Amino acid sequence: MQDPGVVGRRGTPVPPHGLISEFIERNVLAGYTFGQIHDAYVGIATQRGEPDWKVNIPSMPFMYLAAQGVEILRSLGILSQPFPQFQSIFEEQQFKDSQVDTCK
């Protein structure tokens, strides 16, 4: 389980929790990871003075390939799987218990 609302950037045509961003997160292969990588890259590039139009769409194919690579490495156990953020120790323990139950 991953936290929703990762794909998209505020103030853009694809904001977090929008129709397009939710579609990408839920239905595109490696879409969640793509959103994390791409949006972080564009955020850094625009903070350094690059115009959004110059880095956003042109970087998408490369960031998508990178996201697929990350997911392949996670599947092979080379990179660790992400875990959700927990609000309390109790929630974390419930999550760990549920993982043990599913492995039996």
pLDDT per position as a tens digit, 42-71: 989 999 999 999 999 999 999 999 999 999
Alpha helices in 14-103 (DSSP H): 19-27, 31-47, 52-75, 89-103
Q: Which residue's structure tokens are 């139950």? A: 101
d(CA 97, CA 77): 21
Tokens of 39: 């949006």
pLDDT at position 65 is 96
d(CA 88, CA 80): 22
Q: Break the chain into its structural domains and give their ranges.
A: 19-103
d(CA 18, CA 31): 14
pTM value is 0.71
